[in-house]
Each structure stands twice: as structure tokens, then as C-alpha cells.
Amino acid sequence: MSKVIGIDLGTTNSCVAVMDGGKPKVVENSEGARTTPSIVAFTKDNERLIGQPAKRQAVTNPDNTLFAIKRLIGRRFDDPLTKKDMELVPYDIVKGKNGDAWVEAGGEDYSPSQVSAFILQKMKETAESYLGETVTQAVITVPAYFNDAQRQATKDAGQIAGLEVLRIINEPTAAALAYGMDKEDGKTIAVYDLGGGTFDVSVLEIGDGVFEVKSTNGDTFLGGEDFDSAIVEYLADEFKKKENMDLRTDKLALQRLKEAAEKAKIELSSSASTEVNLPFITARMEGGSSTPLHLVETISRSKLEQLVGDLIKRTLEPCKKALADAGVSKNEIDEVILVGGMTRMPKVREVVEEFFGSKPHTGVNPDEVVAMGAAIQAGVLQGDVKDVLLLDVTPLSLGIETLGGIMTKMIDRNTTIPTKKTQTYSTAEDNQNAVTIRVFQGEREMAQDNKMLGQFDLVGIPAAPRGVPQIEVTFDIDANGIVNVSAKDKGTGKEQQIRIQASGGLSDDDIEKMVQDAEKFADEDKKRREGAEARNQADSLVHATEKQLEEHGDKIDASLKSEVEEKVAALKTALEGDDPTDINAKAEDLSQSAMKMGQSIYEQEQANAASAAPEGEAASDGGAEEEVVDAEFSEVDEDAKN
């Protein structure tokens, strides 16, 4: 049975872990790093880059470099937060045919699930390289505050990547699993998770292997990306004051600013100040010539804290709500666990300590703990980890629209999942043979202010006066936090399972096509890798053969030398093309001839040595040779004595 892996699919970075010897182990990627940038890029020759290679070329290829895609997953194009994101990223966000937000790169439109699938494929390959076997199943983490559409879209991403997603698990819950796996005493903990794009806070009770989430809250559009944007805005404003030019209108300059902002933010976690130095950031045209302009700006830690103070404050309201929903006070929290790269910022730690009244626990790696928790949950599902019971909650209330557009809640937020609730409905008119039920998720009083998950029609209701038919509708939320609905006509006993067809989302056909596209990309990537390997080996062979010809060409037969030179030339010609099959064939031909040349050189050397042997023997004949032999034996005897 193949291993189930745990994947933290992050906004900024992703991480994969597996259970190894009863402990979760983070797996290093092909670049030797324990986390992989959640970035996908398409080059001008349509090569797909993922992770660090994509990040390295972002400055020169901003239009086709997709990052922070998690912020768009499961979102509608007309969502106000999508509009906000459009102002922050250099690539184009477009309207998908289903009304969802999609992205455009390399002349193609991609759904956020598809781009996320490319990243998941990279994590899958990373795990497979370490395990030495094919991986087909995974546990994937999502922010606790993700709604149904976002969870479904994440599950779709897994499917497109060729993974059966056994469980979608909330990030703070995963972190708590990794933190509390070996702890037996009962504790109430709060997980404060400030990542690259989202913020979550969860309150849990843990002890004796039981992890019970009491409440969760958060903001799916608050994270390190917003901190970077605040620095970018400051740098752009300062440059505009000095040079009267707005760098925000130049995509290349904006990408350089973003890269510098992230670097400065990280440096200021350990330094009091840092200098942002971007030479040749832009140029001013004057009198037909251009004058290069440079950006040099010093940012102090206190300046950064001033710039992002409001963002840090925004995390406190969800903390208050989570405590209130859990029915616990701040002083009843035994430990606060920090998760996410942004919790390395001293000001964030200071604010958390001030709010909860105790120093937060910093004994876990904030970048890796979520993936480790996902691996533990994978171990639980696989049966490798025993005596662990995870009781999670739904982050948002689930309900339907009733008369007057009111949101009637059926399952309240922070209800332990899986859960099920049944409600009986009837008709509003005489002889009505169908009713439409609109399902919403959220906390607002009016249905239209919440997220509509979808709607469905119950048809085939027997003709009867209004209020007579009894239609029993059952809502249930599974362990992934995904909503399912079934309906039963009590009069006829007729029952039907209804899959909510979200107003957006991907259809089965869409997913199937994307699976095929992902496989095609994987095949292309494999061919490119094989081509690069073939080219490298061929280059080395040409170099080694030419060196051998240069050093020993005079010792081989002229016809063999000519044959080798011809095959070197043929391989060089093949290397000018990009057909790995041709390169490999020509390399094999050259390899055979080079082997014959090596054998010929070796035989020639032996013949030369044999013809020179009588002279050598005569020169060394007599007592001198005997003395050398005697001395050698004498030395061995001495060693033996010792």
C-alpha cells in the first residue's frame, strides 16, 4: 500500500511531509529546500516552471508568472476581493466561462485550481523521489476560514494533479496535531496562523490523543502578501516624491519592488534597519536621451511596524470572536502556537503576547508545522498512527433563503463535523410540482449578503394544496467541510441525492480536461528534463573525446581517427537541434567509436611498453635490482614484527 502524503498548499510557499518511523518528516525538493515557492511561470517558448525556477525569472517575466493564486481559488470574478487582487498582481485576472476568477498566462486561461494542481504535482514528485514509489493519495490543508467553494476547488486541484484527496484539513488544526501529538495532559490552546495570504485562529482542547476544535475564525485575505504590498506602496510613494515618476505603472519595476519588499520584510525581523537598493529601476527621457534612475531607500523596523500596524490589528478581532465562540477567556488559554512565516515578525509576536497575556510558544517551525500535521492526519487515515481522534468544526453557518430573502441558518458555525441536519419544507402555492432551494454560507442576516453555494430544484411533487406536501431536506457537512444535500418526498417516499451545483466551480468535464492537460504538461516536463540530461551527457562525451584526440590522436590508425572526428561532428550537429532521440543515437554512435579509440590507444601503449621492455631489463640488471627486492621484503618483515 503506497504512502498517503500531507501537503500544505500555501499562498506563498508549499511544503510536503510523510510519516517516517512514526514521526512526520518534511521532504526536501529537488533544489534541496524544505519549502517550495507557490509560483508557476510560463516562458516565451511555453516551458512551464514551478517553484524556485519560476521565482528566479519573475522580475523579467511578470505577465506570465503566477503567484498568490490561493487568494483566487473558489472566488467569483465579481467578488470585491478579486477586484482588489487585480490591483496587486502584474498578471491578468480574467472572467472564466463559469463566472469564476481565472488567470491568463502564456496566451492561455487557467483556473486557480489548475495552477494549484501544477504546484501539487511538484509536491507529489518531491515525495515520490524521496519514497521511491508512486503516490496517489494525499491530505491537503486549507485555511480554516475557507468556505465550501474554496474547499471544493482545492479538492479539484488535487484531482487534477492526479491525487485522491482523502481529507481536506484546516491549517490551524494540522498545526495543533503536530504540536500536541506527544502531549498527554489536557490543554486548551489557541493557534494563531498568519501566513502568506490568509489568517486563521482556532481554539482547541487537546489531551490523550483527542484534538477537539472548539471554534475557528479568520480572514481569507490577510497575510504576508499584504505586508509586502504596504512596503511596495511606501517605496513607490517615496520614489514618486523624489523623481515625480510612479513605478506602479511599470510591471517590471513593480515586480522588482515586490521582490525587494519581501526581502526587506524578512531582514527586518532580525535587523533594526535595512537598505533597499535597486539600481536602474527606470529611466527618464530628456531631450532624446534617457537618464537611468536608481531607488535607494532605508527602512527601519519601526517604519515597517508603522506601515503594517493596521494589518496586525486586523488579526485581533477574529481572535476575540474565536474566544467568545469557544466560551473561554484569554487567561484560560494554556498555550498560543504561532504558525505561518509572518509570525516571525517581532511586532506580531509582541501583539499576540499583549493580547493573550502570555508569551507565545515558538518551539515549532512555522513554515513546516502545517505539512507535518497533514502527514499525521494521513497516517491516521492510513492506520499508521493510532489513538488520535480529530474533531474539527465548520467555520461558517449553513442555511437557506426563506420568505423575504432572510437567511435561515440550519447548521451554525463551529458545529463539530461531520454533521447532519434535516428540515421539512412544503409548497407555497396550490398544485406546485417543484420548489427551488437556494443554499448559502455565512453569518449575515440577509441571504444575499452571504456566499451562495448554489441552488437546486425538487421536482415531481404530486399536485396538492399549498402547505400539504412534506419535503424533507437533509443538509450534511462531511469531514472535509464540504456540503452535501439530499431530499425526500415523505408522501411518496421518493428520495433523491442532490449535488449542489455551485454557481461557479468546475464541472466534471472541466476537471477531466484539466487532468489531461496536467498529464500533458508532466509529459512535456519529463521530455524537457530528458532532453537536458541527454544534452549534458552528449556535451561531456564530445569534450572528453576531443581531449583524447588531441592528446593521443597520433597513436591511432588514421581511418579510426577520421571515423571518430566524423561522429564528433555529427553529434555536434545533433546538439544544435532539440531532438533528444537524435542526440542519444549520435551519442551512442560516438561512444562506440570512442571505445574503439580507447582500446586502440591502450593496445598501442602496451605494444610500446613491450618493445621497450628488454632495454628496461638490461638497464636495471644486476645487484641493484636484487637490493631493491631485498629491501622491500625487509620492510615488510619489519612491519610484521610490529
Residue 8 among the catalytic residues: yes
Between 240 and 425, the higher pLDDT residue: 240
For residues 416 and 438, give the distance between their C-alpha atoms in angstroms, rounded to a whole number. 23
Q: How confident is the model at residue 633 (pLDDT cuts 50, 70, 90)?
A: very low
pLDDT at 619: 44
297 is catalytic: no
Q: Which residue has the cell 620492510?
A: 635
How far is C-alpha 413 from the geometric centre of its chain's CA atoms? 28
Domain 516-619 in CATH 3.40.640.10? The answer is no
Cβ of 428: how many Cβ atoms within 10 Å?
Answer: 10
- For the chain, the maximum distance between any two Cα atoms, rounded to a whole number of angstroms, is 129
Cα separation values, 293 from 229, 232, 242, 486, 535, Å: 22, 17, 11, 64, 41
What confidence tier does 623 reach under pLDDT thresholds 50, 70, 90? Answer: very low
The H or E element that residue 399 is part of is strand 398-402
The DSSP bridge pattern shows strands 137-142 and 4-8 to be parallel
Delimit the domains of the chain by residue range: 4-222+314-393, 224-310, 398-506, 516-619
Per-residue pLDDT tens digits for 396-421? 999 988 878 899 899 999 999 999 99
- Could you tell me which residue, 499 or 56, shows the higher pLDDT? 56
Which helix (H) or strand (E) element contains residue 206?
strand 199-207
125, 148, 171, 262: which one is catalytic? 171
Q: List CB contacts of 163: < 8 A, sequence separation 6 or more.
A: 120, 124, 135, 136, 137, 138, 140
User: Among the options 85, 100, 125, 193, which is catalytic?
Assistant: 193
Q: What is the pLDDT at residue 510?
A: 79
pLDDT of residue 631: 44
Q: What is the pTM of this model?
A: 0.79
pLDDT tier for residue 496 given thresholds of 50, 70 and 90: low
- Dihedral over Cα of 343, 345, 346, 351: its sign: negative
Query: Could you confirm whether 509 is annotated as catalytic?
Result: no
Q: What does the pLDDT look like over 332-382, one tens digit per residue?
A: 999 999 999 999 999 999 999 999 999 999 888 999 999 999 999 999 999
For the domain 224-310, what is the CATH code? Answer: 3.90.640.10
pLDDT over 90 at 214, yes or no: yes
User: 64-100: buried (b, 16+ CB within 10 Å) or exposed (e) per residue?
Assistant: bbbbbbbbbbbbbbebeebeebeeebbbebeebebeb
Strands of 33-116, DSSP E: 36-37, 40-42, 48-50, 65-66, 92-95, 101-105, 108-110
Residue 183: predicted pLDDT? 74
CA 341 to chain centre: 14
C-alpha cell recorded at residue 336: 498560543
Q: What pLDDT, in 10s, does the model give residues 250-265?
A: 999 999 999 999 999 9
User: What's domain 398-506's superfamily in CATH?
Assistant: Substrate Binding Domain Of DNAk; Chain A, domain 1 (2.60.34.10)
pLDDT of 146 strictly over 50: yes
- Per-residue pLDDT of 417-447, as tens digits, reads 999 999 888 877 888 888 788 889 999 999 9
Q: Which residue has the higher pLDDT, 429 or 276?
A: 276
For the chain, give the percent of residues with pLDDT over 70: 93
Region 211-218: what's the mean pLDDT?
95
Q: Between the ranges 303-317, 379-393, 453-467, 606-620, where is the mean pLDDT highest?
A: 303-317
pLDDT at 492 over 60: yes
Helices (H) and strands (E) in the chain, counts: 15, 28
| Residue 1 near residue 135, CB atoms below 8 Å | no
Q: What is the mean pLDDT of the chain?
A: 88
Whether residue 70 lies in the annotated active site: yes
Q: Does the pLDDT at position 215 exceed 90?
A: yes
Give me the CATH topology for the region 4-222+314-393. Answer: Nucleotidyltransferase; domain 5 (3.30.420)
